[in-house]
Amino acid sequence: MEFYFPTELGEQLAFCSAAFTALAGFIMMFAPGQTFRLLGLQAQEGRPEGFGEGRSMGGFYLGFGLSAIMLAQDWIYMALGASFAMAAFARVISILSDKGSNLVNYLLLVVQIALAALPLLYVFGFTQT
């Protein structure tokens, strides 16, 4: 079995979104403390559940990204794009409702919109071959 890298530009962009998701998940899973610091979160002393949740979230991102890379199917890319679109929508709600209007939230919103757009543009045929 050989490694599949897409030949069409649109699928390459969707692939890059999946690869970034897997990379972010890997970092979250194996470096939850640094991830929490980057996001402005902290786990309580003596409560390992916080790190467990961070690692678990990283494992989900890693698994989802790797699944999209390995299967390379339109429906998987659509699920990846739709998931990031809903995450971006939730971040907008947080910015508006939770007084979360800060630079980190806006940067993460842009990243989530890009990670949603790349696979969705490919799946719905908006990228040229």
Q: According to the model, what pLDDT value does residue 44 have?
A: 79
Burial of 107 (0-12, 13-18, 19+ CB in 10 A): exposed
Q: According to the model, what pLDDT value does residue 8 have?
A: 92
pTM for the structure as a whole: 0.91
Split at pLDDT 50, 70, 90, the class of 129 is low
Q: According to the model, what pLDDT value does residue 16 have?
A: 97
Q: According to the model, what pLDDT value does residue 56 have?
A: 95
The 10s digit of each residue's pLDDT in 67-119 is 999 999 999 999 999 999 999 999 999 999 998 899 999 999 999 999 999 99
CA–CA–CA angle 102, 108, 109 (5° rounding): 90
Residue identified by tokens 């806006």 is 106
The 10s digit of each residue's pLDDT in 18-66 is 999 999 999 999 999 899 988 888 887 767 788 899 999 999 999 999 9
Burial of 31 (0-12, 13-18, 19+ CB in 10 A): middle
Q: According to the model, what pLDDT value does residue 1 have?
A: 66
User: d(Cα 20, Cα 38) in Å, to the nearest integer?
Assistant: 17
User: d(Cα 10, Cα 122) in Å, to the nearest integer?
Assistant: 5
Contact (Cβ atoms closer than 8 angstroms) between residue 33 and residue 51:
yes
Contact (Cβ atoms closer than 8 angstroms) between residue 27 and residue 67:
no
Name the residue among 127, 16, 117 with its Cα closest to residue 109: 117
User: d(Cα 110, Cα 114) in Å, to the nearest integer?
Assistant: 6
